[in-house]
Amino acid sequence: MLAETGREINEEHLWVLGRSGAARSGDAFRLPDDGVDLDELEKSLMRQALERTGGNKTQAARLLGLSPPTFYYRIEKFELG
């Protein structure tokens, strides 16, 4: 359960998405009462993946569980390229 308040989700809030795989089952992440900006969350995760991989888009896509074409589409969508 996400126990933080406020409008931003930071990397430390997403530790549950790490190694356990629990978030994939839908049990680990709970939508905050005030919601989230899904586009901003996705954009932030893409930026973090690119930073973590030194800009390697193939590795960043893999980190996020995205196919390369989907990752490239989202790079264009969020103007990250």
- pLDDT of the residue at 69: 95
- pLDDT of the residue at 32: 86
- pLDDT of the residue at 6: 67
Superfamily (CATH) of domain 36-81: Homeodomain-like (1.10.10.60)
pTM (2 d.p.): 0.63
Q: Which residues of the chain have pLDDT under 50?
A: 1, 20-23
- pLDDT of the residue at 39: 94
Q: What CA–CA distances, in Å, run from 81 to 46, 62, 63, 72, 77?
A: 11, 17, 17, 9, 9
- pLDDT of the residue at 74: 96
- pLDDT of the residue at 27: 58
Domain boundaries defined on the chain:
36-81
